[in-house]
Structure 1
């Protein structure tokens, strides 16, 4: 492996991080060996940069010492430094997230604001090759799919990581040779954290088995990244040609999905942005040919297994379940125009399911519009007997989502209309009708 030097880092910056010499950089500097080495390398290369340091107040006086170390180094190099102090524990409690996640959210939100404030092009972090290997094992345990097994990317949006080709030992050696002081965060030695357990308990065993373990893993991660890119291309093609995304609803045709030999991996990648993990996706795969109506959930979305499709919908709070309407009303839940008039000569009733005509003298205004219940039944137009609404839905091939969205209109305790589908025969216009109740859905 080449020695860590600016010349070699410059190549990574240009070829893998896509950074030009004129770009202005925000360098995240914690005070650890990796970020201190990174800052020195970029200064050596003459880049236009600003250093940024976060004090998370998690390690008492040690956190303040880290800040002083970074300030002293930046002053000695005549580098502009911006600092901030976070109430990390309070933020984690408020958001109900881990300390690690809270620190990540706080720092990257702040970094993003600094990019805009100082007109900078990218955030540079000191993640090195060992961090990428540890991320591989973390994601292997969590089951994140192929995307999580390719390690850390050299560039992700405006975040770049030019040290990924080098192990931790090379970074520390660079600091020692160049007499760069750095701090050691003792929390990185605590194996109660999964990443630290991987770092201190698992990786050393693998290194004892394979003396060139780091190089082997770098090669593995590169191959996995290529495989990820190929899968990404296939996922994009499937989404463009077969998946329908409309009105907050994603429709995945089961027959089209199964045309792909690796459809389980394909489905995982399609569903991953909606928060579905590998265990839930495996369960979905097991039920592809099961009964319709089966539901699966992530934190924010639900997936419904319909007859021929998988439907992905946002989880919504229960909205209005009923409301009253009368002539001249226009309710926000279901927009409609209601009017009553004398039956004209030669009148013809509508055959459009969204525009109905009823015998006004058989209907009592105001009308109740409500969601359906399992016990509901009505007399569909053209029939002489009652039919359960659940059976009517089956005959009409309603999906689970269609049933949830269905509204009924009642007069008294009688259903007069399944909105948009069928009126009740008892309220139809006949030769005896004198006044018309017209209702049009908008």
Structure 2
């Protein structure tokens, strides 16, 4: 007898999928995934079988592929299969064979899910897989999330066999005389997971014969702790994060009062790609390194006086030429318009517009971002000033400096720091006969 009621109860309790949902089951041919296929069939679910041949075990892999094809015919379900050149993929991406096989199969599962309209991808992990995963995570280093093991549902990935132990599966397979194939690589201890499975766990069971039950209880505690942490982080985020113009501001005073600081700060910043090493460096810099920048793949953290600024990375603006006959050019997030006039007009009350003595312009002009060595002669001053000092005076955060447009003359001199100051050398005077008015319009 198959444990159909336990199977369907587990699916319903964990809301893995609905009775009418379409399921694609990842089946390798081993006892775990074969039992899952029989349970799906016996419970009346609408499912198909998907099998990957990684071409790593020669004839054995071909035999597994044929077995899964026959299983699909036996159960009268649709069959999907694919053959991967795993060695080439691993070499091209400079990753291990195991990692290459993992990436290839999950990419393919997502592909056939979308192509055929499946609701979920069913994987045949069981309770012992969860124990192995936790031990692996502890060995490699992990946060609380790494202690919850394998979840019954993670997005569109579902694991309906997590109510069973490996011994349970072996007993059910034998009792119901269900055929399966053995993957010879499962016995090799050159892989970390297999070493844990065949060498570490048996020793732990010598100390605690009820290891699975103990881990089941521990898992419940870990998951509850994770929920508490998520709730606390959500509260902190609501109170401490101030969003404005696509940027997030976090007061240093709020960060300094966090306790435990490292755990909570990591919880707040991990979703933006920052790892624990970055969090340690940030904490060390809180009291002494204003202006320090920390980067993840997609975001930047800027330590700015009394706050931290969190921004999504942007492409740096590309310099644009302005020719004498241009009336309009595009620069980054702006449209730049030019108006030529025969009277000495001076623009007032618009920081994004400026009047310049037209006779002093040397074309082509350039609109570009600032560079570290930039300086100019601010309006009203006879001496030059570094742009970096102007930015400090204007309290422009580090991450916004590269977004400030600079209008540069053909001789390399800065005419206008758009939005802030124009140059004394190019101002409209009593001797000016013609002006050119430049205006930046945000697009």
> TM-score, with normalisation over the residues of structure 2?
0.89
- Relative to 1, partners in 2 of residues 1:187 and 1:169: Cα closer, same or farther, differing over 3 Å? same
Q: 2:154 aligns with which of 141, 153, 156?
A: 156
The offset of 1:29, in angstroms, is 0.8
- Relative to 1, partners in 2 of residues 1:358 and 1:75: Cα closer, same or farther, differing over 3 Å? closer
Tell me the distance in 2 between the aligned counterparts of 1:4 and 1:310. 57
Tell me the distance in 2 between the aligned counterparts of 1:116 and 1:322. 42
Cross-structure match for 1:104: 102
1:347-366 equivalences under 5 Å are 347-366=345-364
Tell me the distance in 2 between the aligned counterparts of 1:306 and 1:386. 26
Cross-structure match for 1:277: 275
Tell me the distance in 2 between the aligned counterparts of 1:343 and 1:50. 78
Cross-structure match for 2:178: 180
Cross-structure match for 2:339: 339
Tell me the distance in 1 between the aligned counterparts of 2:386 and 2:81. 68
- Relative to 1, partners in 2 of residues 1:314 and 1:191: Cα closer, same or farther, differing over 3 Å? farther
Contact (CA 8 Å) 1:349, 1:357: kept in 2 or not?
yes
Contact (CA 8 Å) 2:322, 2:365: kept in 1 or not?
yes
Cross-structure match for 1:38: 36
Tell me the distance in 2 between the aligned counterparts of 1:290 and 1:204. 51
> TM-score, with normalisation over the residues of structure 1?
0.89
Cross-structure match for 1:73: 71
The offset of 1:251, in angstroms, is 4.1
Tell me the distance in 2 between the aligned counterparts of 1:42 and 1:378. 73
- Relative to 1, partners in 2 of residues 1:372 and 1:75: Cα closer, same or farther, differing over 3 Å? closer
Cross-structure match for 2:428: 429
Aligned length: 438
- Relative to 1, partners in 2 of residues 1:332 and 1:107: Cα closer, same or farther, differing over 3 Å? same
What SS is found at the alignment partner of 1:51?
A: strand
Tell me the alpha carbon deviations over residues 209-251 of structure 1, each in whole angstroms, 9 at most, x when there is no partner.
2221111111111111122122223333444454356777554
Cross-structure match for 1:165: 163
Contact (CA 8 Å) 2:25, 2:122: kept in 1 or not?
yes
1:20-59 equivalences under 5 Å are 20-59=18-57
1:128-139 equivalences under 5 Å are 128-139=126-137
1:189-268 equivalences under 5 Å are 189-244=187-242, 249-268=247-266
The offset of 1:322, in angstroms, is 5.9
Contact (CA 8 Å) 1:325, 1:331: kept in 2 or not?
no
Contact (CA 8 Å) 1:374, 1:390: kept in 2 or not?
yes
Cross-structure match for 1:419: 418
**Unpaired runs of 5+ in structure 2?**
none
Tell me the distance in 2 between the aligned counterparts of 1:325 and 1:142. 59
Tell me the distance in 1 between the aligned counterparts of 2:346 and 2:65. 83
Tell me the distance in 1 between the aligned counterparts of 2:160 and 2:246. 39
Contact (CA 8 Å) 1:349, 1:429: kept in 2 or not?
no
The offset of 1:88, in angstroms, is 2.1
Cross-structure match for 2:367: 369
Tell me the distance in 2 between the aligned counterparts of 1:276 and 1:59. 39
Q: Which stretch shows the higher mean deviation, 328-337 or 314-323?
A: 314-323
Tell me the distance in 2 between the aligned counterparts of 1:285 and 1:269. 14
Contact (CA 8 Å) 1:144, 1:278: kept in 2 or not?
no
The offset of 1:4, in angstroms, is 7.6
- Relative to 1, partners in 2 of residues 1:293 and 1:120: Cα closer, same or farther, differing over 3 Å? same
Contact (CA 8 Å) 1:350, 1:357: kept in 2 or not?
no
Q: Which stretch shows the higher mean deviation, 74-83 or 430-439?
A: 74-83
Give the ranges of 4+ consecutive aligned residues of structure 1 lying more than 6 Å apart after TM superposition: none
Cross-structure match for 2:376: 378
Tell me the alpha carbon deviations over residues 12-55 of structure 1, each in whole angstroms, 9 at most, x when there is no partner.
11101443333332221111111111112222222222122111
The offset of 1:308, in angstroms, is 3.4
The offset of 1:302, in angstroms, is 3.9
Contact (CA 8 Å) 1:17, 1:162: kept in 2 or not?
no
- Relative to 1, partners in 2 of residues 1:373 and 1:22: Cα closer, same or farther, differing over 3 Å? closer
Contact (CA 8 Å) 2:353, 2:437: kept in 1 or not?
yes
Contact (CA 8 Å) 2:24, 2:47: kept in 1 or not?
yes
- Relative to 1, partners in 2 of residues 1:115 and 1:213: Cα closer, same or farther, differing over 3 Å? same
Tell me the distance in 2 between the aligned counterparts of 1:11 and 1:355. 68
Cross-structure match for 2:90: 92
